[in-house]
Structure 1
């Protein structure tokens, strides 16, 4: 195939769907993966008709071991290799650490940490060989500020993606592989509906802190093309990330104790 292929996880809605549309608008064929086949098929058809690119649908649950191999195996069976990877799949797990079941936390880590790293590890050699690659790890502003009580591993998992992306950015640069950690704040998507925090977050967060999924994905695409290691979309989010770097840790933790319920949900 002459066209490059972009693999987008969590592509059925929100930021993932927005990324799929952006890559297609730049001439990429698409491999779309998520759990909801019907949503993927609808999006694939819409993109196919609008942009004239090939769209492949691979339904998979990244919480299950072996999902990465199944996704990449399905693409290999179609004779395709991954030229761009968007690790977007993710969710929130409400509650404090002691209140939750370890099985739920283990599944959370599989989706949020292990699956993105495994996918990147398995597509990277081909990118290096072809001397072209794009990897976007959708992290969060929560990965750039101190931890907060509740949603205990969310900020930690996003911080890990940030540091992982920075290292991979340095490793990939000599081979034409661009890697970016995208760190959005509050984004209009299904994220808060799925974890049951929509009413609380909407009531407590001012409108000027929110961005649309299309805006966030566009910023991420521009950043990975420019090979910027970290992208924080939106002026308010940039200001929050900058302040988090400057204030002492004890001040920052005190601030998170009062404002943390907001940041743990972005």
Structure 2
């Protein structure tokens, strides 16, 4: 029997990593779509999870329009589960952030919406698939830190 295929965005750390870990333990082949430096380490750790299938990394930045269109997101397979995890805090005070950098959050959310639209329509055509949308509130609104 073929394993089902899951894609998790921002799966290198935090809640995205935990989502990817659940998929690995449930026996999914897994694609981590992330632009973070810890992506390869996260993939190596996920490969050691009991029941894990294949784990690959696609370096993808959802704040960049060109990355949203990347056909490699499918890896030539239909996606059975998409866990779209977008938005995260920048780990320092809002007023200390570089304003152009903080605008990336909006673009990342827009990019996630584009990805959801594309892959959601693929799932609807097949009448099969599941989507979970998540993200840190710190990625969407300024806070005291």
Per the normalisation by structure 1, the TM-score is: 0.47
Greater share of residues in strand? 2
Map 1:1-266 to 2 at 5 A: 2-37=2-37, 39-50=38-49, 51-70=51-70, 73-76=71-74, 78-92=75-89, 94-95=93-94, 101=99, 103-111=100-108, 113-140=109-136, 142=137, 154-155=140-141, 261=144
Contact 2:33 2:73 in 1 (8 A): no
Distance 1:137 1:82 in 2: 15
Look up the SS of the partner of 1:21 in the other structure. helix
- TM-aligned CA deviation for residue 11 of structure 1: 0.7
Contact 2:33 2:57 in 1 (8 A): yes
Instruction: Give RMSD over aligned pairs.
Output: 2.7
Q: Which has the larger radius of gyration?
A: 1
- TM-aligned CA deviation for residue 33 of structure 1: 1.8
Higher relative contact order (CA 8 A, sep 6+): 2
Distance 1:126 1:117 in 2: 14
Greater share of residues in helix? 1
- TM-aligned CA deviation for residue 105 of structure 1: 4.0
Counterparts in 2 of 1:139 and 1:61: CA distance versus 1, 3 Å: closer
Tell me whether 6-15 or 54-63 shows the greater mean CA deviation.
Answer: 54-63
Q: Which runs of 5+ in 2 are unaligned?
A: none
Q: Which runs of 5+ in 1 are unaligned?
A: 143-150, 157-259
